[in-house]
Structure 1
């Protein structure tokens, strides 16, 4: 069996605020939108958002309301200049969780949060 990752869907509380974050602040182009389901073009992997309410109705899965008090994953974006990107995000009011730091393997990494508290890693590629 060969599995190929094509997309990740984030469940969100405030659709408009989250759209503003990913489209307006991060500048991700919208690939497709159907009501509260949106796909952003991020390259090989599509990042999608949908409201918790809509996901619950569509799937019948037990989708908890509200943001989780802890996170168990992160979404990562590779950029050329982490320090400049973090400064731009800071000026736009994005919550900075961890300032840029260079790891022992040479990668520069920082963390921000989206409106639902999902961890977003902003990093350079691994050399």
Structure 2
């Protein structure tokens, strides 16, 4: 088994798609009026207008951006400080970090324009 696609619900598709293209350098592999799919290695990320998501998850409801985060997506990196500097060059504001964690990782977190939280994580020597 492997995860093929993660769908993220977004309120404003154009700036969120631009974020994934500019910050992560991802290619759009599919796009229509309500979604854009970007390729992240072997994983696809479907950016879907939140208003279109209800039918996919009913009877559950789509939570609003201000409801709080329910997911943290982690990317393994070699140098957290260098990646944080690159993120900041792209205008990304870090939520926290880099922080050396007791479980042997140096992490930093940031949000995309839709409020989805991403983390970079560097394995520390001896961990």
Compute the TM-score of the two structures, normalised by the length of structure 1. Answer: 0.81
Question: How far has the Cα of 1:121 moved from its partner?
Answer: 0.6
What are the residue-to-residue correspondences of 1:25-64 with 2, within 5 Å?
A: 25-56=23-54, 58-59=55-56, 61=58, 62-64=61-63
Residue 68 of structure 1 aligns to a residue whose secondary structure is: helix
**What count of residue pairs does the alignment treat as equivalent?**
123
- Rounded to whole Å, the distance in 1 between the matches of 2:57 and 2:73 is 25
- The 5 Å alignment of 1:10-29 reads 10-29=8-27
- For 1:124, what is the secondary structure of its paired residue? strand
Out of 82, 85, 90, which is 2:83 matched to?
Answer: 85
What is the DSSP-based 3-state SS (H/G/I as helix, E as strand, rest coil) of the residue aligned with 1:115? Answer: coil
The alignment's C-alpha RMSD in Å is 2.2
**Which runs of 5 or more residues in structure 1 are unaligned?**
none
Q: If the length of structure 2 is used for normalisation, what is the TM-score?
A: 0.81
| Aligned mates of 1:63, 1:27 — CA distance in 2 | 28
